[in-house]
Amino acid sequence: MERTGKAKVARHREMLAITADTGIFFSILLKAIKARRVLEIGTSVGFSTLWFADAIGKKGKMVTIEMDPLKVERARKNFSQAGVEKLIELKQGVALDILGTLKDKFDFVLLDADKENIINYFDLALPMVRAGGIIAADNMLFPPHYRPMMNKYARHVRSKRNVQSVTVPIGMGEEITIKLQD
Ligand SMILES: C[S@@+](CC[C@H](N)C(=O)[O-])C[C@H]1O[C@@H](n2cnc3c(N)ncnc32)[C@H](O)[C@@H]1O
């Protein structure tokens, strides 16, 4: 409804979750690389987080970042209703601030917050990803007003020598970037 414009939602209240087929696609990717540790930038109310929690299983661990307190509250409820709250560390705050405090290594990272900072998020996340790990970015193809920023992001990512990257036309368009070596 948000995407078609049939429901009017204030910009800061939009949830704009990944699509269900993107959730399945990520789930397959996570299982293929045996991901146990996932970082997500942009939780909203936790739709994508729930796909990840399901894919990493009970031994997995997730960190997800969201700055909107109302969305954080709803996400916490959703995680607890799904019985996966123990796997998920939900950090409330501005992503750039929180990323600077993280010491962990991750197998998979989703960049799905403000697009203005997406290149900064990628540069901060890349050293935190193990060789063979993946960084995904949502909204490469839709909505159209993100295109200039996402094209710039694709050029930036593809200029790095230790990654391989492709835009997959599923859902809103996903950039899938594998880190080849440290
Ligand atoms: C597209 S939504 C995330 C959707 C979610 N990944 C899903 O698929 O279910 C983007 C979220 O990022 C949050 N956000 C935007 N800029 C942020 C920032 N600088 N720091 C933390 N969160 C931010 C927004 O509040 C919004 O809830």
- For residue range 4-27, what is the model confidence (pLDDT) as tens digits? 444 454 555 566 899 999 999 999
DSSP H or E segment with residue 65? strand 61-66
Ligand 1 center from residue 68 Cα (angstroms): 8
Ligand 1 geometric centre to CA of 83 (Å): 22
Q: How far is the CA of 111 from the centre of ligand 1 (A)?
A: 9
The mean of the pLDDT values for the chain is 94
Structurally, the chain folds into a number of domains equal to: 1
CATH label of the domain that carries residue 163: 3.40.50.150
Domain encompassing residue 48: 18-179
pTM of the predicted model as reported, rounded to 2 decimal places: 0.95
Check if 78 has its Cβ closer than 6 Å to any atom of ligand 1: no
Residue with tokens 């789930």: 27
In this structure, the chain runs to a length of 182
Q: Answer yes or no: is 86 within a domain.
A: yes
- Does the CA dihedral 178-106-111-84 come out positive or negative? positive
Q: What is the pLDDT of residue 10?
A: 52
Ligand 1 atom closest to Cα of residue 117: 19
The answer to whether residue 169 is domain-embedded is yes
Tell whether ligand 1 has an atom less than 6 A from the beta carbon of residue 90: no
Nearest Cα to Cα of residue 31 among 122, 112, 134, 127: 134
